[in-house]
Amino acid sequence: MKKYRITVGGRGGECYIHHIDTNTKISLISEHVEDDKLDTEEVADILDIDFVTDSDEVYLGPFNDPETYLITVIDENDNVVWESDNNHKFENEEWEYKYNDSDILIVEDYVKGQFYNYEFELEQEFDPSKLTPIVTELGERLQIITELVYNGVDLRNYKEYGDYWSKGISYYLN
């Protein structure tokens, strides 16, 4: 068996989903939340929560654009086996569509760094053509790579979160 580590990094979003009612939506629209006219405390007050990041529904990953993600595969000897480049396009992608018909506020924390990694074993050499991203589209607004599948196996059980940092908050109403 050969051990591999896949790291997923670059630029993307940590997205917090807030289900909102009509009155909350009207308040957010009238305050121009999507135009960054409110600070995070004001948005939290309208949502009646302590922090805009208070949500049980969170999605993290790089944007689904080869210029914004870097996926690196490293073997057990710390040798780079494969790395995506700025022109890389996956042969296959699995798509998940979330919240297209819901009244939600997406709080996107624009982040950079290493989002997550997977460590697993294979009987054969790693084959990049067998790597498939799961792209999650949130409210028809954001498309991020939230998971990876290798040769039909969802790698979610091997996932560990990495080190990334915030570059600013944006808001999207659906």
Helix axes 40-47, 22-30, angle to 10 degrees: 160
Mean of pLDDT over the chain: 95
pLDDT tens-digit series, residues 93-132: 999 999 988 899 999 999 999 999 999 999 999 999 999 9
pLDDT at 133: 97
Start-to-end Cα distance in the chain: 47
Give the C-alpha separation, 55 to 20, whole Å: 12
pTM of the model: 0.92
Q: Which of 84, 62, 63, 64 is nearest to 73 (CA)?
A: 84
Which two tokens mark 23? 């009155």
Give the C-alpha separation, 49 to 76, whole Å: 45
Indicate whether 91 pLDDT > 90. no
Q: Which of 173, 169, 174, 166 is nearest to 38 (CA)?
A: 169
